[in-house]
Amino acid sequence: MTSTTSDTAKRVPFRGLILFGVTLGSGLQGMDTLLAAVALPNMQGALSVSQDEVSWVLTAYLIAVAIASPPIGWLSRRFGRKRFFLSVIIGFLICSMLAGSANSLGEIVTYRLLQGMFGAALVPLSHHILLDIYSREEHGFAMGWWSVGVMFGAIIGPTLGGALTEFLSWRWVFYVNVPVGVVAFTILAIFLPESERDVDRPFDWSGFLILTVALASMQLMLDRGNRLDWFDSTEIVIEACFFVGFLYLFVIHILTARQPFLDPRIFLNRNLSIALLLTTLHGVILVGLTGLLPPFLQNLMGIPVLTVGLIMAPRGVTTAITATLSGRLLSRFDPRPVILVGMSLLALSMWMLARFTPETSMLYFIIVVAIQGAGFGMFFVPVNTIAFGTLPAHYRGDATAFMSLQRKIGSSVGVSILVGQFIRQSQANHAVLSQNVTPFSETLRHQPLPDQWSMSNMPGLAALDREIVRQSEFMAYLHDFEWLALFIVLLMPLVFFMQDPRHHQPN
């Protein structure tokens, strides 16, 4: 099978242009998520809604992506990958323009829901296309360039979103998708060959509906848990029960149905199963850090927003360099050591983040984000390459869809856990610090305080409390960075259970 796949891949002309086109297409999904997140405060003011209400702009998109991801493999086989890919690009761009022109919260949430339905297919379809048009020996090279597109949004999103919102309008975080999407559509319409269609395989509606309820319940629970105080809220308890119950029904269904929505044998492939877990880790770290680091630098370190964007820029540069470099190495070397090096660099960057102080120099920040970017490039590319190195080709459609879904689940879990940890830890830190800040404290009595921190009047007490809050949040951020470093280290042993795809070819 390997030789057949390789021969087929070599017959596809203009692979470089196709690679560029699908890389642009895959970048649309991730970029759109984080551009919108940056613009939420401006949307809130423009639409005159509360923070909880405007958060549905993100929630609707994430729910739609989760729901629409599982059937992508079946849809691409049914209608053909090229036709399906071009259709979702058109739908995504139309919804982007509608979201940018929306004048009410109801309109924008509706368009974002539709945008997520179309955008869900961009990453897995581009992944599947490259796996098919490149031979297994060239997968590392293709995944290196493709990963730049997938991670582009998370890497450059905060900087680009801040600039567009600052100098133009929040509407441009949606309009900016149009030129990128038009270029991708044009290239793929001209050069991408159509795949064979499978019109005879029926669609498992029961499995799809069961999984849809499970994923929607999970996404709502994760997105709203921190705001509603988790299981103290009846809504969160109901959503958790729906998630667990329908997930159990889905597992039973795919194990017993004659033609299930998802062939459970796909998870018997060791490399793919471990790669799915590591892909979840990637989502936790990438989106979790994107949500933590900019506000940490801006709000607590006092760094202007545009300067924060410049500080984050080296992460994108080193990611692109190591992603393309590691992609070339994979054709000659075992990918497992490359993954371990990438995870080690990520853990090191988290440990360095946890050592931040208010006096830390800007050069230190730049070094940390550069190391972090290098780790992302050396982790993401080999994981996506080794996942499919031992997997039969006919499983690729479903596997790419579920890898994309796991990345989104990891993103949602990461944001929920990290934000929840931050809130709890900052409250605990505030309680400890405030206990020792009283007029009866011997330490403070003999320690000269700034004039604005007076404990003899209300303005002075308020200023002192603001400083306690700032220091409590600062330490809470450091705690989150330590937690991420530990999480990465604990998952590193999984890499040793993966197989070298050069010596274990699929049957």
Please report the beta strands in 258-318, taking only residues with DSSP state E, as ranges in sequence order: none
Residues 6+ apart with CB under 8 A from 460: 452, 453, 454
Give the C-alpha distances (Å, rounded to integers) separating 332 from 15, 324, 497, 500.
Answer: 21, 14, 20, 11
Q: Above pLDDT 90, what percent of the chain? A: 5
Q: Where are the alpha helices (DSSP H) in 120-269?
A: 122-133, 139-167, 172-175, 177-191, 205-224, 234-256
Q: Which amino acid is at 195?
A: S
Query: Using the 8-state DSSP alphabet, how is residue 3 labeled?
Result: H
Q: What is the pLDDT of residues 171-182, one digit of tens each?
A: 888 888 888 889
Query: Using the 8-state DSSP alphabet, how is residue 201 labeled?
Result: S
Mean pLDDT of 296-301: 71
To the nearest 10 degrees (0 to 180), the angle between helices 335-353 and 270-295 is 20
SS3 category, 314: helix
C-alpha gyration radius of the chain: 24
Total count of residues recorded for the chain: 507
Tokens of 373: 């970017």
As a whole number of angstroms, the distance between CA 82 and CA 303 comes to: 45
Tokens of 288: 């979790």
User: Has this prediction a pTM greater than 0.95?
Assistant: no
The answer to whether residues 389 and 396 touch, using CB atoms and an 8 Å cutoff, is: no
Residues 6+ apart with CB under 8 A from 479: 354, 421, 422, 425
As a whole number of angstroms, the distance between CA 40 and CA 325 comes to: 36
Q: Which amino acid is at 249?
A: L
Give the C-alpha distances (Å, rounded to integers) separating 390 from 74, 335, 385.
Answer: 21, 13, 10
Residues 6+ apart with CB under 8 A from 138: 9, 331
Please report the beta strands in 222-311, taking only residues with DSSP state E, as ranges in sequence order: none
Residue 2: pLDDT over 50 = no
Give the dihedral sign, CA 91/316/306/421.
Answer: positive
Mean pLDDT of 187-207: 79
Residue 301: pLDDT over 90 = no
Q: Which of 62-71, 141-150, 169-178, 365-374 has the lowest mean pLDDT?
A: 141-150
Q: What is the pLDDT of residues 84-131, one digit of tens each?
A: 889 999 999 999 889 888 888 888 888 888 988 898 888 888 888 888
The answer to whether residues 477 and 422 touch, using CB atoms and an 8 Å cutoff, is: yes
Give the dihedral sign, CA 152/154/160/165.
Answer: positive
Burial class (CB in 10 A: 0-12, 13-18, 19+), 393: middle
Instruction: List phi, psi (to 5°) of 96.
Output: -65, -45
> For residue 315, what pLDDT band results from cuts at 50, 70 and 90?
confident
As a whole number of angstroms, the distance between CA 388 and CA 179 comes to: 32
Tokens of 42: 């401006």
Tokens of 343: 């995870």
Of 312, 355, 363, the residue nearest 477 (C-alpha): 355
As a whole number of angstroms, the distance between CA 226 and CA 416 comes to: 7
> For residue 22, what pLDDT band results from cuts at 50, 70 and 90?
confident
pLDDT of residue 1: 37
pLDDT of residue 7: 41
SS3 category, 204: coil
